[in-house]
Amino acid sequence: MWLNLSSIFKKLSTDPNVRAIVLTGAGDRAFTAGLDVQAASAGPILGPTTGDPARKAFSMRRYILDFQDCITAIEKCEKPVICIIHGIAYGLALDMCLACDIRFSCKTTQFSVKEVDIGIAADIGTLTRLPHSVGNHSWAKEICLSARVFGSDEALTHGLVSRVCEDKKGAVEQGLELARLIASKSPVAVQGTKELINYSRDRPIADGLNYTAIWNGAMLQTQDAKDAMMSGIQKKTATFSKL
């Protein structure tokens, strides 16, 4: 399934018909309840059953890197991804939504960084992306070390989501509305904005500015800038070609 997710996002990334993506879980009960513990306790997540501990470590490292790559495909997707998190959102739910660009949740969403409860440190992205995504590091460690369930109010207060909606239906509607708004804009501008924020988040200010300068050296040559400016002056709606 994860390889599937990855190949879908790789395809969406360069599909010229796609301008923004809304990601949510099927059904009303859960975004995802995370790992199926029963299945996992037998499966590759705990590694091979033969070999010495070093060989097992190599094997698991390969497995984790592959799994991480699947989730990172969301972050690397050139198009913005809006994540609607509803119902139960445990474990992998956090790994996934933190790789998205924008997070909306519902009044009843129940979050948990559940991994310590199954005896492991989360390794598919939560512990890496969370301290780069929210401002309150005391809270970030509290939820990761305790695995306690928390609601949308905390998620909003401490900066994990930017909007709390009434329910899944409302959240999807707001997500789609935002996606439509983004899709109405120049894809050159939108995709550049995602890339430049992601690049700068990880690097010193000077590096972010320098990368931005060569990026826009190319991107300002787009027809979209002329069309968008003209549409602003003429109070008309511009249409931007695919990317």
Q: How far apart are alpha carbons 179 and 84 in whole angstroms?
A: 12
- Interface residue with its own copies, options 1, 4, 26, 233 (CB under 8 A): 233
Asked if residue 30 binds its own copies (CB under 8 A), the reply is: no
At position 136, the amino acid (one-letter code) is: N
- Strand boundaries in 9-147, DSSP class E: 21-23, 30-32, 81-85, 88-90, 102-106, 110-112
Asked if residue 3 binds its own copies (CB under 8 A), the reply is: no
Between residue 86 and residue 105, which ones bind its own copies under the rule CB under 8 A? Answer: 101-103
Asked if residue 10 binds its own copies (CB under 8 A), the reply is: no
**How large is the angle between the packed helices 187-201 and 205-219, nearest 10 degrees?**
160
Asked if residue 43 binds its own copies (CB under 8 A), the reply is: no
Total interface residues for its own copies by CB under 8 A: 119
Nearer to its own copies (CB atom), residue 18 or residue 118: 118
Q: Nearest approach, Cβ of 191 to its own copies (angstroms)?
A: 7
φ, ψ of residue 231 in degrees (nearest 5): -65, -35
Asked if residue 226 binds its own copies (CB under 8 A), the reply is: yes
8-state DSSP, 117: G
Asked if residues 47 and 60 have their Cβ atoms less than 8 Å apart, the reply is yes
Nearest-10 Cα torsion for 66, 69, 74, 77: -130
Asked if residue 139 binds its own copies (CB under 8 A), the reply is: yes
- Interface residue with its own copies, options 3, 15, 210, 236 (CB under 8 A): 210
Nearer to its own copies (CB atom), residue 4 or residue 138: 138
8-state DSSP, 165: E
- Interface residue with its own copies, options 11, 27, 28, 141 (CB under 8 A): 141
Between residue 58 and residue 87, which ones bind its own copies under the rule CB under 8 A? Answer: 58-62, 64-65, 68, 72, 75, 78, 80
Between residue 171 and residue 200, which ones bind its own copies under the rule CB under 8 A? Answer: 178, 181-182, 185-186, 188-197, 200
Asked if residue 18 binds its own copies (CB under 8 A), the reply is: no
CA neighbours closer than 13 Å in the CB half-sphere of residue 153: 0
- Interface residue with its own copies, options 5, 18, 40, 149 (CB under 8 A): 40
**How large is the angle between the packed helices 2-14 and 53-76, nearest 10 degrees?**
30
- Interface residue with its own copies, options 11, 15, 29, 57 (CB under 8 A): 57
Q: How many C-beta atoms lie closer than 10 Å to residue 193's C-beta?
A: 15
- Interface residue with its own copies, options 4, 17, 202, 237 (CB under 8 A): 202
